[in-house]
Amino acid sequence: MPKNVLICNFCNQKIISPKRIFRSPANKFLICEDCIRSCYKACEKDKVYFTSSARRESDIKPDGKPGKKIPPRAIKEELDKYVIGQDDAKIALAIAVYNHYKMLDIHSDVKISKSNILLIGPTGSGKTLLAQTIAGLLDVPFAIADCTSLTEAGYIGDDVESVLWKLISAADGDITRAERGIIFLDEVDKLAKTDIGASLTKDPSGEGVQQALLKLIEGTTANVSEHNRRKLPMEQGLQVNTENILFICGGAFPGLDKIINRRTASSEKCIGFGADVEKKETRPPGETLKNVETEDLVKYGLIPEFIGRLPVIVSLDELDEDAMVDILAKPQNSIVSQYRKLMEYDGIELVFTERALREIARETLKKKTGARGLRNIIEGILRESMYTLPSDEEAEKCIVDGITRDKIHIERQSETMAVC
């Protein structure tokens, strides 16, 4: 063969112009344009498989496994920087998460079950924030799934395996890393079954979804669609082992406190001439939820098998005025500091007085929206200021002394010079 004839080392075919030639750094190997194009198409087709098998060096920890080993006390101290109050919930979460990831490294004849967690608390009490913060501390993939969109097989909606796709996406397609991640199932109380019309209609987003989640939470090898859609009957999707995935479920469970109060009241009833018939004071909902038991959740509408797979049940306290004020100003990423940074970009110092913080906290408690409502109120207070101040070249400081617009005072350069 003539020396000037070039052969592709992949397909062993002649490389004839105008086809392009790709050479290795030492010119030892040649590859033609057709082979490059074929390899590219193959990688695009199996994109998820490729990224899961070829992990980046930056994602590999010294022990070869993703995730950090942080003791419970250190987890609690880190959570204190971002979440105000809820000390009991933080301690219970820290212990459960630490034991879970410690369990993954223990190789023994004794089978240690997963410590999946159920968070019960009013809206805006910090359930999602706690789960997100812990996942960030441990450096593991984290996904949030809304249970209201899940339906059982055969109905329009998302199937339960779609929550695994979200976790794979959070792990950049790395299935090995995703299999040690955390999934937060939000609004799990909406899965509670109802007896109304049970004999006439089927509930596609209630008990059926609970049944479908059982094996997923306990640990199984699930078949996940490659394109995040309903699986076809003969579709070969991604194989994901959920045995080491930590599931954290959260819900407000409105009305659960009444079920608990009825149970505790019936256990304290007594009859006879010496009975104390004086009506006892009802405890606040936050205090009542601390006494929740499995039978209360069953009466609420969760099936016993589902509750049994959530051995750690944690109740969160309802936020009071002092907690709301602390949430506004104390955390590292507090709402006040966020708006202060936004104003600082335009060269304006933003100041909230103690009275303003108290009024914002009280207004939020009236609306019963939890900590989520704080941003909405501050946005309303500062809307006019954020609209006008970026164009005011003399504005230096914005002082907020209340929740009404007349309580906002703007200091300007001309006023400062006049005082001097």
DSSP secondary structure string for all residues of 290-309? GG--HHHHHHHT--HHHHHT
Q: To the nearest whole number, what is the mean pLDDT of the chain?
A: 79
241 confidence band (pLDDT: 50, 70, 90): very high
Q: What is the band of 63 on the pLDDT scale with cuts at 50, 70, 90?
A: very low
Domain ranges (residues) in the chain:
1-45, 72-255+283-315, 321-419
CA-to-CA dists, residue 409 to 12, 143, 404, angstroms: 79, 43, 11
pLDDT of residue 268: 55
The candidate with the shortest Cα–Cα distance to 190, out of 149, 152, 236, is: 149
Kindly report the CATH number that applies to the domain delimited by 321-419.
1.10.8.60
Average pLDDT over residues 298-326: 91
On the 0-12 / 13-18 / 19+ scale of CB atoms within 10 A, 306 is buried
Name the pairing type of β-strands 312-315 and 117-120: parallel
Please indicate whether residue 54 or residue 361 has the higher confidence score (pLDDT): 361
**pLDDT of res. 404:** 85
Which token pair is 62? 């010294």
Going from the C-alpha of 60 to that of each of 56, 57, 140, 177, 417, the distances in angstroms are 7, 5, 12, 9, 58
Q: What is the pLDDT of residue 181?
A: 92
> Model confidence at 116, in pLDDT bands (50, 70, 90)?
very high
Cα–Cα nearest to 145, from 96, 82, 98, 213:
213
pLDDT digits (tens, 9 = 90+) for 166-204: 999 899 888 999 999 999 999 999 888 765 434 444 455
Residue range 242-254: average pLDDT? 92
Number of residues written out for the chain: 420
- At residue 393, does pLDDT exceed 50? yes
φ/ψ of 22, rounded to 5, equals -115, 125
Mean pLDDT of 314-326: 89
55: pLDDT strictly greater than 80: no
Predicted local confidence at residue 74, as pLDDT? 92
Rounded CA separation 146/198 (Å): 24
The secondary structure element, H or E, covering residue 397 is strand 395-400
Q: Is the pTM of this model over 0.85?
A: no
Task: Write the CB contacts of 357 (distance below 8 Å, at least 6 apart in sequence).
Answer: 325, 328, 329, 336
Reported as a pLDDT band with limits 50, 70 and 90, residue 13 is confident
Q: Is the peptide bond before 18 cis (omega within 30 degrees of 0)?
A: yes
Does residue 359 have a pLDDT over 90? yes
Burial class (CB in 10 A: 0-12, 13-18, 19+), 269: exposed
| In this structure, CATH architecture of domain 72-255+283-315 | 3-Layer(aba) Sandwich (3.40)
- Name the amino acid, one letter, at 229: R
- DSSP class of 316: P
* pLDDT of 388 above 80: yes
Angle of CA points 285, 287, 144, to nearest 5°: 70
